[in-house]
Amino acid sequence: MHRILFAAAGVLLLLLSQAGDSLAKEKGDWVVRLRGLAFITDTDGTTDTLGGDARTSNDGIPELDFSYFFTDNIAVELILATAKHNVEVKNSTSGDLDLGTVRTLPPVLTLQYHFNPKQAFSPYLGAGVNYTITYDVERGRSVNSVDYSNEFGWALQAGMDYQFNDNWMINFDLKKVFVSTDITVNGGAINANDTDLDPWIVGVGVGYKF
């Protein structure tokens, strides 16, 4: 086992040493990535009349993002993806309520700092804003109507690229988005205002630099 670990470490060091400056991200570069995302919700909300806890389901989705480097170290990234969630209220005074499904389009714009842009292995941190758009709402069996507000939020990000030739890279990315929505049920008879969605967005994929 030790020999295997040392051999793997040696191969990784060899790849890094051979990467050289030809793999560098530089001012003016564009990077396009295609990721698979785990959209993990962290919902927290309560209805004003029935109590209970608002809950939303997780989703696995594809995602496309674009990055532009203003300097060798500083880039801006925009992600585009849409997720679908089942929504319910658990343990209300009327029992568990099925609110139906809703799709969210949460574009996230972050400003990033890349720590090793001249190397094949390049970690980064970012922070930015989000505007969550809700659409394609389908009411559940427990309600007559349900609506969701669109809201601004903010986001934190950490990730890393491993560039294995002049253009192609592997990417891992983690975002925490802080955003809430007002849920209006049955024309306002039941409300869950300021319901925190606050998803974790975990992504793995490939990128292309040009």
Percent of the chain with pLDDT over 70: 89
Q: How far apart are CA 136 and CA 106, in angstroms?
A: 14
pLDDT recorded at residue 94: 83
Number of helices (H), then strands (E), belonging to the chain: the values are 1, 14
The pLDDT of residue 10 is above 70 = no
Grade residue 93 by pLDDT with cuts at 50, 70 and 90: confident
- CATH architecture of the domain 22-209 equals Beta Barrel (2.40)
Q: Taking the CA of residue 22 as centre, how many other CA atoms within 13 Å lie in the half-sphere pointing to its CB? A: 11
Whether 2 shows a pLDDT value over 50: the answer reads no
| Of 186 and 19, more confident | 186
Domain boundaries, the chain: 22-209
Q: What is the pLDDT of residue 191?
A: 84
Strands (E) located in 70-150? 74-80, 83-92, 95-105, 108-114, 121-139, 146-148
Cα 124 from Cα 200, distance rounded (Å): 17
Position 75 confidence tier, pLDDT thresholds 50, 70, 90: very high
In this prediction the pTM is: 0.83
At 7, is the pLDDT very low, low, confident or very high (cuts 50, 70, 90)?
Answer: low
